[in-house]
């Protein structure tokens, strides 16, 4: 099962509207969006759930709050969750404002990492 190309198009649209310095990279069967040369968000195929998940790099502070939300899962490839990364199931980003919420969280953390902002 390939990653959700429509979700990729939606992410591209939001990134372009914010006039971000980004590029997309195919990685491990999914798609990752790099902002200012840092992993920001991506699309991961969950073979158990048979669905594409949104991966967001939101940092440890935001993670502590967001992981409690419905449709959020720890990002776990190896049996040990990656700190500061979260998976969001499709119902959590179905609406455009929900997808933009997750991208904004990831972009906020990206700004903390790089010191480079973006337009909202």
Question: Averaged in consecutive runs of 10 residues, what is the pLDDT profile of the chain (120 residues)?
Answer: 88 94 88 94 87 95 95 86 93 96 97 71
pLDDT in the model for residue 64: 94
Stated pTM of the model:
0.90
> What does the pLDDT read at residue 81?
83
Q: Is residue 29 part of a domain?
A: yes
Does the residue 119 lie in any domain?
no
**What pLDDT score was predicted for residue 88?**
97
Residue 28's domain spans which residues? 5-114
For the chain, what is the domain count? 1
Q: Would you say how long the chain is, in residues?
A: 120
Q: How many CB atoms lie within 10 A of CB 5?
A: 11
Q: Write the CATH number for 109.
A: 3.90.1150.30
Q: Kindly state whether residue 120 falls inside one of the protein's structural domains.
A: no
Residue-by-residue DSSP string for 9-76: HHHHHHHHHTT--EEEEEETTEEEEEETTEEEEEEEEETTTTEEEEEEE-HHHHHHHHTTSTTEEE--
Residue 59 is predicted with a pLDDT of: 96
Can you give the pLDDT at residue 120? 46
CA distance 18 to 1: 30
Confirm whether 21 is domain-assigned: yes
């Amino acid at each position: 099962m390939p990653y959700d190309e429509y979700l990729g198009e939606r992410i591209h649209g939001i990134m372009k509207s914010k006039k971000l310095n980004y590029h997309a990279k195919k990685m491990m069967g999914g798609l990752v969006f790099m902002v200012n040369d840092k992993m920001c968000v991506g699309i991961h195929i969950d073979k158990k759930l048979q669905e594409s998940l949104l991966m967001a790099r939101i940092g440890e502070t935001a993670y502590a709050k967001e992981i409690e939300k419905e449709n959020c899962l720890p990002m776990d490839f190896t049996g040990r969750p990656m700190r500061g990364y979260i998976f969001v199931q499709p119902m959590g980003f179905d609406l455009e404002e929900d997808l933009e919420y997750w991208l904004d969280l990831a972009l906020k953390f990206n700004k903390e990492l790089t010191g480079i902002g973006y337009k909202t």
